[in-house]
Structure 1
Amino acid sequence: QRMRAAFVIAFVLLICGSLAHWPSYWAPDSRSPANHQVSFTLALKLRNLEAFNDLWERITTPGSPEYRQYRPMEELTSMIAPPAAEQEFVLTYLRNHGCFATSFGDFITAEGPVSAVEAIFGAEYHAFRHEKHDVVLHRSIEYPTIPSALSHIVSFVTGISNFPHERKQTRKVSTEEVLDDTSTWVVPQTIRNLYNIPAGTSNTVRNNSMAVVEFGVVAGISQSDLSEFMELTDGPSNASLAYTVGNFAFTPISPIDGESTLDVQYIMAVGVGVPTSFWTINGWMYDFTTEVQTRQSRGNPVPLVFSMSYGWAEADQCDVTHNGVSCAQFGGSDTSYVQATSANFQKLGMTGITLLCSSGDAGAASKENLNCNSDPPIQPNFPASSPYITTVGGTMLQDGGSPLTGTLPPFCTEQGVTCAGGGVEIVSSIPEALITSGGGFSNIFDQPSYQSSAVSSWQNSGALEPPAQYWNSQGRGYPDVAGLAHQYMVVEKGEKLGVDGTSASCPVTAGIIALINGNRLASGLQPLGFINTALYSMNQSSFNDVTIGNNTGTEANSSPDCFTYGYGASPGWDPCTGLGTPNYQAWNSYFLNN
């Protein structure tokens, strides 16, 4: 029996309108006290985006005189933020209504008593208690309405009625059951072999940094799990987090979960020695980007590389609960939310930060259509579909690959365990794996010039395509690259588990990028920042090309109606595994010279 656990991508609720109900795992306890302090963020309407996008092209295009000439966040924000007078108008309005507010240019953070916030936005706050964790959130059961006096300046508001999404439970098995599995396992040595990372490769500079990002009310890891994992895989014995951001739990019990565990154990096992932080965001992608900017403005440390194993359907960023309510009462739309978030992705890239996200675990159909019976049958994920982020798909080893040889780490010497040492990578897909690599084309973002040639080659390759009415051939194609996403060994709550997911390939790729960043910094070079334009400029030999498979399936136990619509792999780029998987030494050589 194959004993594995599949990680699924987690999501947040950001919706507008009137709440007919709330998430089942949150129970209303009582009306919030009128004097209880609550916080929220106002996204302001952007301007000068044409000039802003032109600067983006100059800073991120290889060969440009301004390539990697990063800008201070204040300069970037001033380009697109509303005039100072409009910012001050909003601040004065909020202060006059009893709130404390701070402007960061294109967004405003605010805090005030429940009574004041209810009066401003037509809200009705209640205390909600989580059914599993001892956590209370104060949220409105009425969706906020932007005051008419502010509607010409404010695009939308977060933090008033949105709930963090519940994490799906991973399938867990006992240590004895896992060790009876006869399949091959992925350990850090597997990754080093496949991706050409020399033994002993580690970070050598103190000013390098990387992070994993989790979305939820609280998240964390177990130090004992991390230490045991490193011991079982011959990793560094002193591995520990540099710092944490948000509601972090450092405990061997709930709310520790597989997502956090996988992210931290493998980004640190690959990016050996790179100072690593753990970020918990009580919101969604826009809230993540504002948290980074807030910390930058206050002089707090911000990592150079972020790994995010999360996403949701591009068209439904404000409708994650499927209640049919649009973002209209936030003064925006799903598209405006996506575009505002992507503008912030651009700002982070233009300060030298590299953002990576997973492509999804449900194939071309996406998480919202696991049974492949929705119309349309396929749809893109966000932030995977953003052209301003590097998206990572998933692979698996054909027939389990070949066994790991040489000096084996302790886990690989245990009875019944065979660790993978190499082999041919194919698209990760069910039923062999528990997940199918996400991939497709954006319906919001145009295809960026940096990938047009690669996408055209795929379209002319004869690879599997969905019917024309179901996808946008002129949209941004994703993923950009890929990595192993099947049968990773992790230690969670003292148990050795097998896990699948692009939640694995993303932190692995982030760890590789962080190592290269360290080499650049040691050579007196700038950090990599946005890397897509460079990736598509490399020779195809810089990647392990993945040419077998497709992403017509979704996740394990999905409907037999699947396997109809999706995309096929081909030589070169494809919407299953992007350009391929990393060749560390080729990437490192390229980035040290370009």
Structure 2
Amino acid sequence: MLSPLLLLSLVAVSLASPLGRGLGDFQVKHAWDAVPAGWEYHSPAPADHVLHMHFALKQGKFDELLRHLAEVSEPQHERYGQHLSKEEVDALVAPHPDTLSTVEGWLAAHGLDPENAIHRSSSGDSITLKVSVSQAEKLLDSKYNVYRAKDDSEYVVRTMGYSLPEALHDHINLVSPTTYFGGLQRMKTTSFVEPDAPTVESADESDFAIPPASCNTVITPECLRVLYNTAGYTPSAKRTSLGVVGYLEEYASNADLRTFLSRFRSDLAGTTFSTVRVNGGGNNQSDPGVEANLDIQYTVGLSGPIPNTYYSTGGRPPFVPDSTTPTNTNEPYLDWLNFILGQKTIPHVFTTSYGEPEQTIPKDYAITVCNRFAELGARGSSIFFSSGDFGVGGGDCLTNDGTNVRRFQPTFPAGCPFVTAVGGTVGTNPETTVGFTGGGFSNLFPRPKYQDAAVTGYLGAIGNSNAGLFNNTGRGYPDVAAQGRGFQVVVAGRVISVGGTSASSPTIAAIFALLNDYRISRGGGPLGFLNPLIYSTARTGFNDITTGNNPGCGTNGFAARAGWDPATGFGTPDFVKLQALV
């Protein structure tokens, strides 16, 4: 049954038009100039094909949320560390009543009942409804088609552009699925198997004074513990927690973790992790994933016995082009964020080893996702993302705005200012930039205040190098770095070598989980959103990487230098130094 408020809204809208055109003419929300690279038109979408359509509403007091986030994340502020509760965040992001009444009235005028939503966030800022293609086309003045990925058999139902009535642009931040073509297959860009790299079946776990020479080519937990100075610290199993976010039907294997620990961290034998299934995510223990095993083996191997949770996130139900009724969404960031923001208790640290070229992400989608990472930060969680594996850009590096200009191609979500992006290094004496590490400057997000001094210092030092190829006013990334080659990972009982900033991000996440444990043991709280800390009082707690670069787009990319740089950030962590700084 519709609420009285909704009925009143429906009457008001209906007086103007049965389809809500009294809200003004349609205006474009987002549109592509051409089918995004890697995709091709296949066929019209069946009219009765069902979409799980997500409406992200304008958040009533988001600017106030950002003020709170800045205060609780700034080490010099009197509120530092006083993070908000779920209820406090919900109150800040709840839509204004006018937004709710206007949007719900518009939906009802199109025969959609918000009271029967598949999902409604606890703050009310997002609504997910079952919407047929024919309804969506009328709702959004759009045309949906089936598109096929050129290099595999993945199909998605998307539109090249969508519009909203003029008055709704002030009330709706995002409607999806619409123009985000990423698809899960496009996300897995930050790890790769190294088939010709050396492997070891076990590691000497004796106390090293310095990393052994083997760590130059083969990385084990013991290499990282010595290199980053955590070997002398024993955490508790009760003070903090760590979450690994997984996609792409990647499953973390309990049996492989047991084998990994027996070979590389025998003192943690018996340590396990929990799995939480999100949006139909699976947990097929007979089909372990390289990415999932890499992440969980190194977060557990470095942070155990701190509790680790693997979030197996679905979002890729099979779509057959001639089917008529199955649902198909393929937008996993929002699926996971909707889930985790609805939880009363969440881990203090999250790591995610996925990303996509920023220019493939519609602006409305990217901003909505990025802002929700800010919500997690305000609640006291640190969010790490790998920076990517294509230097300053892969492929032809041409812009997709119709101009075909060669530009560096930053990565999303690494370029979001509310996450901590992790680049890659290689070698131990000394560490240097690994050539594939992603880094650069966002074209979507402006440079945040917390990194003004560091970034302007770097830009001043490089002068006109790469001029015109990047946005010198954008958010610079990565923020920090860690080893990125030769990680020994057990998959289906066999040790393989894996590289990528996918290895770097869980490494850093585990070290900050240890720092949270230490801080809480001293009566403090979790560190939460880290970047204001990293760019101020904690910058001296990292090993500065001053050699190497991240080539791409036909250039040498950005060179590492003293201080922050868009190849390795402030460098790799020294746990003991950071203990003294947090």
TM-score normalised by the chain length of structure 1: 0.75
User: Is 2:464 aligned against 1:455?
Assistant: no
| Structure 1 position 588 matched with structure 2 position 579 | yes
Q: Give 2:502's aligned amino acid.
A: S
What residue is the counterpart of 1:6 in the other structure?
none
Q: Following the alignment from structure 2 to structure 1, what is the Cα–Cα distance between the partners of residues 413 and 146?
A: 31
User: 1: distance between equivalents of 2:36 and 2:564?
Assistant: 44
Give the conservation status (yes or no) of the 8 Å contact 1:125–1:138.
no
- Structure 2 residue runs of 5 or longer lacking an equivalent are 1-28, 202-213, 316-330
Q: 1:495 to 1:57 in 2, by over 3 A?
A: same
Check whether the contact 1:174–1:495 (CA below 8 A) recurs between aligned residues.
Answer: no
Structure 2 counterpart of 1:418: none
What pairs with 1:275-286 in structure 2 (closer than 5 Å)?
Answer: 275-279=307-311, 280=313, 282=315, 283-286=331-334
Q: Is the 8 A contact 2:398 2:405 kept in 1?
A: no
- AA matched with 2:459: Q
**Structure 2 counterpart of 1:54, one-letter code:** R
Which residue of structure 2 lines up, in the alignment, with residue 414 of structure 1? Answer: none
Equivalent pair of 2:198/2:497 in contact (CA under 8 Å): no
For residue 244 of structure 1, give the secondary structure of its aligned residue in structure 2: strand
Listed one character per residue, the Cα deviations across residues 409-442 of structure 1 (whole Å, up to 9, x for unaligned) are: xxxxxxxxxxxxx42100001xxxxxx1111122
Choose which of 305, 313, 326 in structure 1 pairs with 2:357: 313
- Percentage of identical aligned residues: 28
Matches within 5 A, 1:52-71: 52-71=65-84
1:343 aligns with 2:371: yes
Aligned to 2:491: 492
CA drift at 1:456: 3.6
Aligned to 1:76: 89
- For the residue of structure 2 that corresponds to 1:470, the secondary structure is coil
Work out the CA distance in 2 between the residues paired with 1:346 and 1:158.
20
- Tell me the residue number matched to 2:209: none
Is 1:237 equivalent to 2:286 in the alignment? Answer: no
SS at match of 1:363: coil
Q: Report if aligned partners of 1:464, 1:550 keep a CA contact under 8 Å in 2.
A: no
1:369 shift after superposition: 3.4
Higher relative contact order (CA 8 A, sep 6+): 1
Distance change >3 Å, CA 192–CA 470, structure 1 → 2: same
Aligned position for 1:196: 229
Distance in 2, Cα, partners of 1:262 & 1:204: 23
Report the counterpart of residue 407 of structure 1 in structure 2: none
Q: 2-side partners of 1:481 and 1:21: how far apart?
A: 31
Among 165, 170, 178, the residue aligned to 2:184: 165
Task: String of CA shifts for 1:200-248, please: whole Å, max 9, x gaps.
Answer: x3431425211111233x3312222222111221242223222313233
Distance 1:589 1:313 in 2: 37
CA displacement at 1:77 relative to structure 2: 4.2
Alpha carbons 2:59, 2:96 under 8 Å: kept: no
Distance 1:109 1:80 in 2: 14
Partner of 2:255: 224
What's the counterpart of residue 527 of structure 1?
Answer: 526
Q: 1:302: which partner in 2?
A: 346
Paired position in structure 2 for 1:209 = 241
Q: Is the 8 A contact 2:147 2:158 kept in 1?
A: no
Distance 2:474 2:145 in 1: 42
What is aligned with 1:10? none
1:174 positional shift: 7.8
* Aligned counterparts of 1:547 and 1:197: Cα–Cα separation in 2: 23
Give the structure 2 partner of residue 411 of structure 1.
none
SS of aligned partner of 1:221: coil
Q: Does the 8 Å CA contact 2:32/2:179 hold for their aligned counterparts?
A: no
Alignment of 1:121-520 (within 5 A): 121=140, 139=157, 145-146=163-164, 150-159=168-177, 164-166=183-185, 178=199, 184-199=217-232, 201-216=233-248, 218-235=249-266, 236-246=268-278, 247-254=280-287, 256-279=288-311, 280=313, 282=315, 283-293=331-341, 295-296=342-343, 299=344, 301-318=345-362, 334=363, 336-366=364-394, 369=397, 375-397=405-427, 422-429=428-435, 436-461=436-461, 466-520=465-519
Instruction: Tell me how far apart the structure 1 counterparts of residues 389 and 97 of structure 2 sit (CA, whole Å).
Output: 43
Q: Per the alignment, in what secondary structure is the counterpart of residue 498 of structure 1?
A: strand
Q: Determine if contact 1:309/1:506 at 8 Å carries over to the other structure.
A: yes
Residues 368-387 of structure 1: CA distance to partner in whole angstroms, max 9, x if unpaired? 7399xx73331322221222
1:15 CA displacement: 8.2
The residue number in structure 2 matching 1:568 is 559
* In structure 1, C-alpha distance between the alignment counterparts of 2:79 and 2:577, rounded to whole Å: 25
Compute the displacement of 1:365 (Å). 2.0
Task: After TM superposition, give the deviation of residue 161 of structure 1 in Å.
Answer: 7.1
C-alpha spacing 1:21/1:61, structure 2 compared with 1 (3 Å): closer
Query: What one-letter code is carried by the residue in structure 2 that aligns with 1:521?
Result: I
Of stretches 268-277 and 73-82 in structure 1, the one that deviates more from structure 2 is 73-82
How far 1:446 sits from its partner (Å)?
3.1
Unaligned runs of 5+ in 1: 1-13, 319-333, 398-421, 430-435, 554-560
Contact 2:380 2:527 in 1 (8 A): yes
Residue type at the aligned position of 2:507: V
Residue 65 of structure 1, CA deviation: 1.7
Alignment coverage as a number of residue pairs: 511
Cα 1:464–1:245, aligned 2, differ >3 Å: closer, same or farther? farther
Moved more, 257-266 or 578-587: 257-266
